[in-house]
């Protein structure tokens, strides 16, 4: 019996050493705040990825269609000889050719597909961060691990995600942040000090 008490006591001691001290309400509130922010950032990046994908299609499909029409018209005119084509038709074909080139250039310059992929990757990373936060929050405060260590690890990962991927943009951030009850993003000093408001 004494052995089982010692085992239980040492089990508690080992857990408290492994888990560190219990989380304070302020630390738990900060963790929840970061969870809401990560969820909002994930949503914003996925929203931007979708918008950019659509823009890529809005420019890409007309560029392909116009190029196909121009190519078909040119082959038809070569087969029949250009002198048989009315001047207006030649102007239309020339205008369509220029339009196709402009649309293709815009699509290449604005890199909608590449930017969409980067925002999707950022959304995936923020989703991973949110899952980590959810996992930490699922444990009782005394079993979550050392608060300083856990929060520092999350802060570094959130900062790295923010520096690695494209910015969300103020208007989209405010649009999405309101849905998740998130105020303006805290500054780096607040995050580092752990004084960001929940």
Domain extents in the chain: 25-183
Do 186 and 196 contact (CB within 8 A), yes or no? yes
Name the pTM for this structure: 0.70
What does the alpha-carbon distance between residue 71 and residue 66 come to, in Å, rounded to a whole number? 8
Q: Which two tokens stand for residue 49?
A: 């990825």
- Quote the distance between the C-alpha of residue 94 and its chain's center: 41
Hey, CA dihedral for 140, 141, 147, 152, is it positive or negative?
positive
- The predicted-structure confidence for 79-120, as pLDDT tens digits, reads as follows 666 566 677 877 887 888 888 888 888 888 889 999 999 999
- In this predicted model, what pLDDT tens digit does every residue of 33-89 receive, in sequence order? 999 999 999 999 999 999 999 999 898 888 888 888 887 777 666 666 656 667 787
Contact between 29 and 198 (Cβ < 8 Å):
yes
């Amino acid at each position: 019996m004494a052995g089982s008490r010692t085992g239980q006591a040492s089990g508690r001691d080992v857990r408290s050493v492994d888990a560190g001290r219990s989380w304070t309400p302020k630390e738990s509130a900060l963790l929840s705040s970061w969870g809401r922010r990560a969820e909002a950032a994930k949503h914003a990046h996925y929203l931007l990825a979708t918008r950019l994908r659509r823009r890529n299609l809005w420019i890409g499909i007309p560029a392909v269609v116009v190029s196909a029409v121009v190519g078909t018209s040119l082959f038809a005119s070569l087969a029949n000889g250009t002198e048989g084509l009315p001047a207006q038709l030649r102007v239309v074909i020339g205008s369509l050719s220029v339009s196709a080139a402009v649309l293709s250039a815009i699509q290449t310059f604005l890199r909608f597909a590449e930017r969409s992929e980067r925002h999707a990757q950022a959304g995936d990373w923020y989703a991973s961060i949110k899952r980590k936060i959810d996992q930490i929050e699922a444990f009782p405060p005394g079993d979550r691990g050392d608060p300083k260590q856990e929060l520092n690890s999350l802060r570094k990962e959130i900062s790295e995600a923010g520096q690695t991927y494209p910015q969300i943009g103020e208007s989209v951030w405010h649009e999405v942040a309101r849905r998740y009850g998130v105020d303006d993003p805290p500054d780096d000093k607040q995050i580092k000090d752990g004084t960001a408001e929940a």
